[in-house]
């Protein structure tokens, strides 16, 4: 089940909100959310609910034991290590098992047959949430949760369990125990959810369709150069709009029930360096690796060599987190190189030349998406060569030209939505005219009408289009 399915929009979510509204106490509301969350997660693959519950149970008991220990004692450290080992083992088996065995077979011939293991959706997200919870209990940043069902609710909350953002227990623990919902929360939540839904159903799906047509694996070696450039451009818009839309909808649904999730995207394409880009893109993942990997390894407190090694560990893990394939490792190392160059040599030149620095960032990220899009290294090579006409592929042909012409305005509008231009224009208009009575009336009417219009347009787009993937479900 995905947020942009008609079943979710017109049955699952309304029923959830109705049952939640009439639950008589905060405990009843939390149980309602837990039941709906487990149903949501089990919808496509019921057996993997047992994995989710089992990992949560193991960490629940280990966290209680850690909580009884002296701060950062040897016993607490052993218990934390055990918890992290269990969590990463499950992630390794289900996400990386086949990848490891296939590489072993290629090198040694063993095993003769590589078993195919289905990837539990969202396993990377809830594994990292559990690890952050255990680390924070170990650090005494939070108390261990005494109620198992409350910890399971935190881990499995359907708003963010499947594709993030990665929510830290210490950020929401108080809200899980006690929360209130104001009219402003509901209004903001509906607006945010509707905006995210429109980004997904209308724009991300359209960009994805263009990208898939222009970057099809079977034809990537023969596609004209312009088609490849436009295809990668469309993919860069799709992946941002798709993932940020999921975060928008998760944040919006949280607001509807009084839970405030942190922002996960901050218009990353307006960045002027790779370092800034990754402070704005998938913020919850970047902060996780910073706080639970980079800083514990020493961060930038040691020598330059040590700092580079710490960054190498972070970016190798970042690449692997996104998928069990060598292209993702290459993608992570690609950004590692630019992060290092910026830290060692490029930071001052980039600060002085703001326009050139933005162009630099756009090109670095653009070619990074080529590595991300194609899982085959040979396809990556063909795509990169083809973008510069080195496959004897020409500049444009009739078929790809027709695709580009029919979608050019969608791509341009999607690019505009990927910047804060519209948001800032709205803020200027609001602060300029907000004290005028007619402006207040129009603003209030817009807060009611726009979410409804976006919801109806999204519904129409979903009814008329069977193309509706969520890219980050595979991570």
| The CA-based dihedral angle spanning residues 350, 274, 340, 334, taken in that order and rounded to the nearest 10 degrees | -130
Count of helix runs (H) and strand runs (E) in the chain: 23, 0
Q: How many CB atoms sit inside 10 A of residue 398's CB?
A: 6
Contacts 24+ apart (CB under 8 A), 8-14: 9/197, 9/455, 9/459, 9/462, 12/36, 12/40, 13/253
The secondary structure element, H or E, covering residue 379 is helix 377-387
- Round to whole Å and give the CA distance between 165 and 16: 20
**70 in helix, strand or coil?**
coil
- Helix segments in 109-145, DSSP class H: 123-138
Clarify whether 322 is annotated catalytic: yes
Q: What are the φ and ψ backbone dihedral angles of 14, each rounded to 5 degrees?
A: -60, -45
- Structure token pair of residue 362: 């756009």
Question: What SS3 string covers 244-284?
Answer: HHHHHHHHHHHHHCCCCCCCCCCCHHHCCCHHHHHHHCCHH
Whether residue 220 contacts residue 386, with contact meaning beta carbons closer than 8 Å, is answered with: yes
Catalytic residue among 282, 322, 355, 358: 322
DSSP states along 269-336 = GG-SSHHHHHHHSSHHHHHHHIIIIIHHHTTTSS-HHHHHHHHHHHHHHHHHHH-SSHHHHHHHHHHH
Active site residues: 322
């Amino acid at each position: 089940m995905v947020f942009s399915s008609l079943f979710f929009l017109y049955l699952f979510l309304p029923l959830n909100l109705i049952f939640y509204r009439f639950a008589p106490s905060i405990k009843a509301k939390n149980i309602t959310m837990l039941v709906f969350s487990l149903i949501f997660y089990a919808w496509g693959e019921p057996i993997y609910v047992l994995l989710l519950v089992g990992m949560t149970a193991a960490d629940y008991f280990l966290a209680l034991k850690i909580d009884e220990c002296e701060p950062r004692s040897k016993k607490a450290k052993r218990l934390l290590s055990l918890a992290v080992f269990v969590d990463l083992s499950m992630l390794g088996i289900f996400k990386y098992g086949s990848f490891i065995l296939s590489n072993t077979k290629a090198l040694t011939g063993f095993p003769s047959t590589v078993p195919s293991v289905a990837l539990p959706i969202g396993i990377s997200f809830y594994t990292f949430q559990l690890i952050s919870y255990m680390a924070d209990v170990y650090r005494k940043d939070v108390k261990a949760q005494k109620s198992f069902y409350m910890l399971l609710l935190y881990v499995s909350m359907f708003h963010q369990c499947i594709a993030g953002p990665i929510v830290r227990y210490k950020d929401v623990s108080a809200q899980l125990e006690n929360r209130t919902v104001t009219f402003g929360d509901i209004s903001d939540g509906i607006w945010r959810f509707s905006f995210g839904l429109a980004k997904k159903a209308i724009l991300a799906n359209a960009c994805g369709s263009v990208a898939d047509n222009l970057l099809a694996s079977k034809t990537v070696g023969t596609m004209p150069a312009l088609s490849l450039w436009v295809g990668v451009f469309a993919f860069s818009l799709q992946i941002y709009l798709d993932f940020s839309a999921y975060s928008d909808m998760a944040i919006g649904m949280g607001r509807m029930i009084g839970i405030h999730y942190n922002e996960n995207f901050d218009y990353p394409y307006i960045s002027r360096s790779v370092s800034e880009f990754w402070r704005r893109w998938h913020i919850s993942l970047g902060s996780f690796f910073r706080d639970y990997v980079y800083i514990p390894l020493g961060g930038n407190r040691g020598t330059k060599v040590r700092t580079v090694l710490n960054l190498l560990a972070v970016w190798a893990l970042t690449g692997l987190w996104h998928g069990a394939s060598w292209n993702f490792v290459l993608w992570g190392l690609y950004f590692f190189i630019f992060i290092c160059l910026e830290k060692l040599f490029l930071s001052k030149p980039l600060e002085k030349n703001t326009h050139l620095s933005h162009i630099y960032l756009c090109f670095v990220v653009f070619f990074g998406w080529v590595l991300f899009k194609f899982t085959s290294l040979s396809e990556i090579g063909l795509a990169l060569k083809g973008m510069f006409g080195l496959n004897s592929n020409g500049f444009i042909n009739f078929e790809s030209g027709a695709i580009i012409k029919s979608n050019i305005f969608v791509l341009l509008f999607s690019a505009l939505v990927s910047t804060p231009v519209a948001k800032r224009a709205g803020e200027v208009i609001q602060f300029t005219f907000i004290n005028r009575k007619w402006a207040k009336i129009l603003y209030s009417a817009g807060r009611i009408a726009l979410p409804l219009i976006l919801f109806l347009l999204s519904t129409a787009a979903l009814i008329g289009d069977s193309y509706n993937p969520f890219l980050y479900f595979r991570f």
